[in-house]
Amino acid sequence: MKSLRSRLIIRTLAACIACFVVAGIVLYLSQRAALIKEFDRSLEARAAVFMSVTEESPQGVRIEETLNEHAIDRKDFFQMWTADGRPIAKSPALGSADLQRAEPNRAVFVHLPDGARARQRTFSFAPRLDEDAAPASVSSSHKVSLTLARDAGDLDRQLARTAWTIAAVFGLTALGAIAVMWPAVSAGLKPVGALAQRIAAARDRDLSDRIELRNAPAELVPVVSRLNELLEAIEISFQREKAFTADVAHELRTPIGGLETALEVCAQQPRTQQEYRQVVGKCLVAARQTHRLIEQLLLLARAEGRQVRTAMQWENVQELLRENWQAVESRANQRKLRLDWNVPGNARLWTDRALLDVVIRNILDNAVSYADEGGQVLVRWEPADDAGRLIVANSGCTLDAGEVAKVFERFWRNDTARSATGRHAGLGLSLCEKIMPLLGGRALALVRDGNIFEIELSFRMNHPKLTEKSAVAMVELASAAVWAWP
């Protein structure tokens, strides 16, 4: 795995080298163009000399004798033709070979008969008339073509030297860049390294530590900030899970401890049949409580993970409430609770019966358990725009607003006891809150008039074929028929 440092260096270096190559090419080409232009100028100057020594006389076009002796550089080759293509003269060095007569005023590189590279240009001009025949300033009306070629060896060597110089300078610069870049990039990446070390040092045992980077670069500030936010979220989540696991262990240990001790003490000595029956009866109650607790925990876990399959169908609210009330009715009577019942007879819900039973049973059980002795339990169905609200309330509430906000927390109870009577483990309302969204609703808890604890279950009419109009009509119909039960 490549390190960030090597990646940065390699990529930066690659970018630098690419820039150097492009710059080198551009520089070389500009130098080349300048040198060739200079070479062409000297070729033009040499051509001007040829033109000045070329004259036309009645005998034809001729070149002064002095040119061959003094004016022609050994590196220059020429050939001259009349307008109709008849050769006039050429460099003796050409021997039997000829230069190629090209288009006028266009310089090109060619190879000379001896194989050397040369720069060649063809000029077309009118030679001056012979001094004896006309004034020197007057030119002939006959055109002559002059092709002048010059050995380009010096030019090529100059161009090669330029290319190598550019390549050497840029190559050495690239090597220098590597030498400078390594420590520079390392120094620049120090905060990243420090951050990596802090993250590597983080352990799930101590998530309360936050990452602090002194003089953190601006780019890392949001990263560190976000990391700390995530650490905080993880810490809260860990603490919650830890507390939940501890609560689960605690809630299971107490009844299991009770069962174990009861059976162990019972087995210590022979007992009467009645004594055995009593112990078995007590253990059975404890086993059922434990079973219920485990079922609640499993359902809670599935509801939180949204792994509960719902089987939705129309249910009569009144029947559903009546059946669940029967489960707590005897206890309500024992506690001399007064029931205020206001449920429309035709109120219906598109819901999952089994899940809603769990919710209703828990909130009714909660109301009956925590109402004051001789107090009141209220069960009311209220039609609403979106469907309806089921309200279950009880008198005798001693919770303040802060405590009410916690009633849906897992294992929360008003007193510090955990095992208590084994009846309430503090999961019931938490289950209700988690199940309600699965049924397309939600649960709210509030305190009214100082001592009325109220759980409000809001339901939405989420039947796929139910239109808004028919839902309103149904709620109106339901509210019109208040069933006076019990």
Partner 1 sequence: MRVLVVEDYELLRDSISQGLREAGYSVDAAGDGDQGWWHAQTGNFDVIVLDLMLPGMDGLTLLKKLRAKQIQTHVLLLTAKDTTEDRIKGLDLGADDYLTKPFAFGELLARVRALVRRKYGEKSPTIRIEDLELNTLARSARRGGEQVELSAKEYALLELLANRAGQVVSRTEIWEHIYDSQSDALSNVVDVFIGHLRKKIEREGLPRLIHTRRGMGYVLGKGEE
Task: Tell whether residue 206 is a contact of partner 1 (CB under 8 A).
Answer: no
Q: What DSSP string runs through 72-136?
A: --TTEEEEEEETTS-EEEE-GGGTT-------BT--EEEE-TTS-EEEEEEEEE-PEEPTTTS-T
Q: What is the dihedral of CA 220, 224, 226, 231, to 10 degrees?
A: 160
**Residue 74 and residue 322: Cα distance in Å, rounded?**
125
Task: Tell whether residue 421 is a contact of partner 1 (CB under 8 A).
Answer: yes
CA distances to 208, 363, 368, 370 from 338, rounded to whole Å, are 50, 16, 10, 13
- What is the nearest approach in angstroms of partner 1 to the Cβ of residue 265? 4
* Stretch binding partner 1 (CB under 8 A), from 162-170, 302-310, 367-375, 419-427: 419-427
Task: Tell whether residue 255 is a contact of partner 1 (CB under 8 A).
Answer: yes
Among 10, 33, 246, 354, binds partner 1 (CB under 8 A): 246
**Residue 150 and residue 161: Cα distance in Å, rounded?**
20
Among 122, 140, 147, 254, binds partner 1 (CB under 8 A): 254
- Residues numbered 112 to 151 that lie near partner 1 (CB under 8 A) are none
Considering the complex, state which of residue 254 and residue 324 has its C-beta at the smaller distance from partner 1: 254
* Stretch binding partner 1 (CB under 8 A), from 200-208, 254-262, 358-366, 452-460: 254-262
Considering the complex, state which of residue 11 and residue 288 has its C-beta at the smaller distance from partner 1: 288
Task: Tell whether residue 273 is a contact of partner 1 (CB under 8 A).
Answer: no
Task: Tell whether residue 258 is a contact of partner 1 (CB under 8 A).
Answer: yes
Site size toward partner 1 (CB under 8 A) is 31
Task: Tell whether residue 243 is a contact of partner 1 (CB under 8 A).
Answer: no
**Residue 231 and residue 211: Cα distance in Å, rounded?**
9
Q: What DSSP string runs through 257-295?
A: HHHHHHHHHHHTS---HHHHHHHHHHHHHHHHHHHHHHH
Task: Tell whether residue 272 is a contact of partner 1 (CB under 8 A).
Answer: no
Task: Tell whether residue 191 is a contact of partner 1 (CB under 8 A).
Answer: no
* Stretch binding partner 1 (CB under 8 A), from 63-71, 107-115, 382-390, 420-428: 420-428
Strand partners, 383: 388
Structure tokens, 295: 């079922």
Task: Tell whether residue 257 is a contact of partner 1 (CB under 8 A).
Answer: yes
CA distances to 366, 429, 437, 459 from 404, rounded to whole Å, are 13, 11, 20, 21
- What is the nearest approach in angstroms of partner 1 to the Cβ of residue 281? 10
Considering the complex, state which of residue 63 and residue 286 has its C-beta at the smaller distance from partner 1: 286
Contact footprint for partner 1 (CB under 8 A): 246, 249-251, 253-262, 264-266, 268-269, 282-283, 285-286, 415-422
